[in-house]
Amino acid sequence: MTIQTITERELKLRLPDEQAYFVLRQAWGDPDRVVRQVNTYFNTARRDMNDRMVRIRDQAGVLELTVKDRVVMDADAGTLISRERTQSITPAEWRRVHRSECAVTELDVPLAAQLYAEVGAHLYPVGSMVNTREVYPLSG
């Protein structure tokens, strides 16, 4: 279970209404794929961690601990660039965190240890979100 580090570039669009979504989707055609994700987010007990985002994502049973930081946002271009570090975790590790048996920073995985060293505090769940993501290829 190694840590993967990438520079993530996302296009963020703010649409004025639901109709704009359907117009855009018609112009782009069918997505390459549609995925359902369950994301659980973490913060310190004081909820004072504003310089990074930490989550565990469950996508079709594949579990990943993710840390995003060094975020650069260009609101005019609608882009978000961040460093993203990810590491797979096992269902057993996820159950320990989900059942509040340990903090995510207490997992025996290198990314959790790095995170604890950087933040200096343990991280606990603060909320979850289920989303459906349509994935389209972009060029350029």
Q: Which of residues 10 and 131 earns the better pLDDT score?
A: 131
Contacts 24+ apart (CB under 8 A), 27-34: 28/136, 31/134, 31/135, 31/136, 32/135, 32/136, 32/137, 33/134, 33/135, 34/132, 34/133, 34/134, 34/135
Tokens describing residue 51 = 């310089």
Q: Look at residue 79 in the predicted model and tell me its pLDDT.
A: 78
Q: Please, how many CA atoms are within 13 Å of residue 140, restricted to the half-sphere of its CB?
A: 0
pLDDT interval class at 1 (50, 70, 90): low
Q: Look at residue 70 in the predicted model and tell me its pLDDT.
A: 80
What is the spatial distance between Cα 2 and Cα 64, in angstroms, rounded to a whole number?
A: 11
